[in-house]
Amino acid sequence: MNTTIGFIGLGAMGQGMALNLRRKGLCLAVHDVRPEPVATLTAAGAEDGGSIAGIARGCTVIITMLPGSTEVQEAILGADGVMTNAAPGTLVMDMSTVDPDTTDRIAQRLQASGMRFVDAPVGRLASHAAAGQSLFMVGAQPDDFAEVRPLLEAMGTTIHHCGPPGTGIRTKLVNNFLAIGLCQMNAEALTLAARFGLDLQTTLDVLNGTTATNGQLKLNYMTKVLRGDVEPGFTIDLAHKDMSLVVNAANAAKVPLPCAAIVRESLSLARAGGFGGKDFSALLDHWCEQTRLAPVRLKGEHR
């Protein structure tokens, strides 16, 4: 199994990415705390790695795609984790969205143990991950980037080498700051339009025809909340986690981000209102509820 790729973490993003590795014919061993996605992958021809330690002992390239900093650090640096069980020379690629300090700590510890590290957080949505259309922001040494590039090409369409380890996750935080911030602004703007009694489609035509337009409005809102679909591609809980990472990293770098702080607290309100598990486009429904308005939907879409 020495040429097998290990994949740890088969959530909304990770499962689709792992399936695309299998579709491209790559040998894969997988692990997740839930049996259901493991069964899905083994049905597609992957091997059940059994545990993180089992993955680490059998694979020379290990990918982690986990919910947050605590899970990533435990999986890689914990007593039963990757670093303890993997051989020198192993390449670990973390694709999670985590605190940059966590990324830096892992990179340093792995390097001191004779291993290699790449951070390659993912852009776009779970639907893109399933379709093999993800975007990757990669922090890696040049030789390591060349080694992981074929894997990234199997999982996505767009790859940016941002610099050495640590630059990928920092680029991701900048990206998510704007993406989540725009999601919040769209929610407020469309709630205002609804209160004004404006026709939704006409309003969208105007917004998408001026510099007010944005990817969240044109893509995520149009395919999710405005059609009544608030099943999560990316939850409000995860958006809150990411904005907390943005605010904390900015504080550490002595960069004031007042808009980021406001967006995070708006997400806190949505979570308190029971919206945490919904897609982050459901911020629109949250603001409509706060304003005592019916949910804003395209004509014929009333879910």
Decide if 184 contacts 263 (C-beta within 8 A). yes
Cα–Cα dist 58/2, whole Å: 6
Supply the DSSP symbol for 67: S
Cα–Cα dist 295/303, whole Å: 9
Report CA-CA distances (Å) from 194 to 82, 190, 203, 291, 302.
51, 6, 10, 10, 15
Type of residue numbered 289: E
Decide if 107 contacts 117 (C-beta within 8 A). yes
CA-CA-CA-CA dihedral for 52, 57, 59, 63, to nearest 10: 30
Radius of gyration of the chain (CA): 20
- Would residue 172 show up in a list of annotated catalytic residues for this protein? yes
Please pick, among 172, 224, 241, 278, the residue that the annotation labels catalytic. Answer: 172
Return the beta strands (E) in 140-296 as ranges. 156-163
Burial class (CB in 10 A: 0-12, 13-18, 19+), 119: buried
Shortest CA distance to 180 belongs to which of 232, 100, 235? 235
The set of catalytic residues is: 172
